[in-house]
Amino acid sequence: MLAYCRQMVERQPRVTRAAFTLIEVLISILILTIVMAGVVYGYAQANRFAEWSSMSLAAQSYALQGLEQVRAAKWDLRANPAVDEWSLPNIVGYTSNLPPQTDIMDIPVSGAPFNVTNTIMLKQLSTSPELREVWSQCTWTFPRTGQIYSNTVVTYRAPDRQ
């Protein structure tokens, strides 16, 4: 029986086996590593951009909040006596009636809080009719790069009408 099996094995043609060489395996691992590094880098960049966008949006909201403070202030020239809660000194150019306000940025974070500084500036454009230009500028620092950014909102303000 053993002899019969040997004869059968010898009669069958040799089968060549297809296999990868060591060089082919190393090159495929290198290509896989480059692709995976690109995917991880793209994910990290998307995360960084999303973080920057959330901080910029929060700063823009904080600048709008400062602008709304000025718009909500009473400025009635028809009242007796006239009411001007944001009275301007006689200085040509921009002036700030309030010191810069520093607050914590309203975004969910872990670790140290991020500070923003809001500065409100006013400029008298004309006295007849009364018209002022209002600037609300929010300054913040992006923690990953240490770069300083500012978001600014500008509008005009006239006295209250009744």
User: What is residue 14's predicted lDDT score, i.e. its pLDDT?
Assistant: 61
User: What is residue 91's predicted lDDT score, i.e. its pLDDT?
Assistant: 45
User: What is residue 42's predicted lDDT score, i.e. its pLDDT?
Assistant: 96
Cα–Cα distance between 38 and 23 in angstroms, integer? 23
Q: How many CB atoms are located within 10 Å of the residue 85 CB?
A: 12
Domain ranges of the chain: 22-157
65: left (phi over 0), alpha (psi -120 to 50) or beta: alpha
pLDDT (tens digit per residue) in 76-100: 777 777 777 666 655 445 555 667 8
Cα–Cα distance between 142 and 59 in angstroms, integer? 11
User: What is residue 84's predicted lDDT score, i.e. its pLDDT?
Assistant: 72
pTM of the model: 0.70
Tell me which residue of 29, 37, 64 sits closest to 138, measured CA to CA. Answer: 64
86, two tokens: 């944001």
**Burial level of 101, CB count in 10 A (0-12/13-18/19+)?**
middle
Q: Which residues 6+ apart lie within 8 Å of 102 measured at CB?
A: 115, 116, 117, 118
Q: How many CB atoms are located within 10 Å of the residue 115 CB?
A: 12
Res 1 pLDDT > 80? no
Cα–Cα distance between 119 and 101 in angstroms, integer? 7
pLDDT (tens digit per residue) in 97-139: 667 888 887 776 666 788 889 988 888 888 888 888 888 999 9
Cα–Cα distance between 5 and 93 in angstroms, integer? 106
Cα–Cα distance between 128 and 39 in angstroms, integer? 62
Q: What's the chain's average pLDDT?
A: 81
Residue written as token pair 């140290």? 112
CB-based contact 87:95 (threshold 8 Å): no
